[in-house]
Structure 1
């Protein structure tokens, strides 16, 4: 992408190419995902770095201990645990936008347990780190896509969002791999994209997404 090209005014420069490819619909789905992974991984490494990961891991450890010690869902004081998340994040030495995403991650996982959408308490540090990465993706890409009424290449809003939904499983799968590595290392410097998929010749009549 030439310097200065901007296809969506609410997206940072990192995500412009992925957005353009998504709207043009000329690339295979795997290629759009490859481009988007590059943008997200650069965002995680350069805009956030290691500290949010360390704090997310500790938050996961706290949640795991609290929920396991309670024994079962009916014994968990969800309001108190929610306030403990607030307290822990408030005391973290992080930038305000990092704290906001960490709160979203912690409260999101807490609500999954509270409403029985998640029951497995193993690896909660890794789960919270993964949720943090997901919140970065949602906040900086997915949730910004609808913030324009004039999408690139004349694509309508409904189609654009359907395209975003179609690639989300691939992004979630990659985030899971990154979370496992980042939690183990307590770092993000060694995170890499999974091997690039071999691109077959594109059928112009194919619905790529």
Structure 2
């Protein structure tokens, strides 16, 4: 016997009472835990044997996959036709917290407390840029996409701060950092143009 799911009111899991909100909040907490764990291991603040350090990367990937699954499941409790964008405030706070973790990681490495850029500035910059550019994939269609700037702006800010710290620590030259910054800016514009084109192509004529 199939049991029909009766969704609660609301336009987003965080705006619904019950399992939807709990699942989405758990997904956010899982994502933050994954990034924090990655930061602790890569900076050397969490001393582990080499095999454990390498295995931690797979644990982080597993946590991120779990977070994605929890988000997708949370949408079961929201009426599909009435679903709106991610609440800007909640999304901005979440990605700002993610950016803060990356900046903390970069600061710890730049100050030499973990062996002076144990994984390098490029690791942190690449992580931030990848998060800024990749489209949101945790929403089952046909829900609308989340507000892109609430994720892109904090992540690009984290990348910029990391580059500045690397330059100040003489790990990256000023010219190299400038070229990378221009490349990130151009890439971001390109990504947004492609995203806008996909949205226009998906709209009915």
* Structure 1 and Structure 2 fold alike (TM over 0.5): no
TM bracket, shorter-chain basis: under 0.3
**Which structure is richer in relative contact order (CA contacts within 8 A, separation 6 or more)?**
1
TM-score (normalizing by structure 2): 0.28
Q: TM-score, normalised by structure 1?
A: 0.27
